[in-house]
Structure 1
């Protein structure tokens, strides 16, 4: 599948909230390593600081990332995720992410807090921790 084929039907809308899921190549548990996970967190923060997105909630799991974000006025969803993946892969020394990512635009009437709770509770459901506060690679603006 070509890169362009992966983007067919993808639409970026300024101000829209998106739930992004992206996985590592071959679902390797790269982010079991604390420093690798924090690298991804740092790159998400960088994109927020650049003004392209607002970060609402996220969790870095051992082999994937969930990120609830709101696009800024002139941001493009594909460009934003490409920047996150490219910068983090470069910092960590090579191929890191699967080429594609899954996105879902949330409707205005959807409960963003419920979506954020679902995201940050992933480590509990996966059995990585018994208390949410014990997992270091997650955050939400409502926590």
Structure 2
């Protein structure tokens, strides 16, 4: 039997655990650097800050890069990862009124383990623009936030 790959296969093993923290990544459609546009990036950030889009989940840390978004999200008791990401991506797409689509289908998720250093993961997220060569100092990049910084 030929092995199956792709988004559907990844979703088959996806588990949402209430109270757990997830490192989430969503990429733009065709990896377009959509958020190089300052107006679109600012509008997306305003949308990210709206608490209503997160349901009972808590957004702990995030960065909006030109062609993707990383976030550290702690689930609440009600919403699963798929619900949180669908709501997040839909809200930004509606707000930006972009055509073609803003986001590629699917997303990547990784549940943090109990022995993972959450603040180290947050630093990794926030340092993304630095590693990508977009800025020479993390504080020079405007599209991120973290509860610990």
C-alpha separation in 2, matches of 1:123 and 1:85: 21
1:78 aligns with 2:82: yes
Structure 1 gap segments, 5+ residues each: none
- Larger radius of gyration between Structure 1 and Structure 2: 2
Q: Residue 5 of structure 1: CA displacement?
A: 5.1
Change in 2 beyond 3 A, CA 1:99/1:50: closer
TM-score by length of 1: 0.90
How many residues align? The count is 143
- Where 2:86 maps in the other structure, the secondary structure is helix
Query: Which of structure 1's runs of 4+ aligned residues deviate more than 6 A?
Result: none
Residue pairs, 1:24-39, within 5 angstroms: 24-39=28-43
C-alpha separation in 1, matches of 2:96 and 2:57: 23
Change in 2 beyond 3 A, CA 1:141/1:46: same
CA contact under 8 A between 1:6 and 1:100: conserved in structure 2?
no
1:134 aligns with 2:109: no
- Where 1:7 maps in the other structure, the secondary structure is helix
Give 1:97's aligned residue: 103
Q: Residue 140 of structure 1: CA displacement?
A: 1.0
TM-score by length of 2: 0.87
Give 2:69's aligned residue: 65
C-alpha separation in 2, matches of 1:32 and 1:77: 27
C-alpha separation in 1, matches of 2:133 and 2:54: 35
CA contact under 8 A between 2:56 and 2:77: conserved in structure 1?
yes
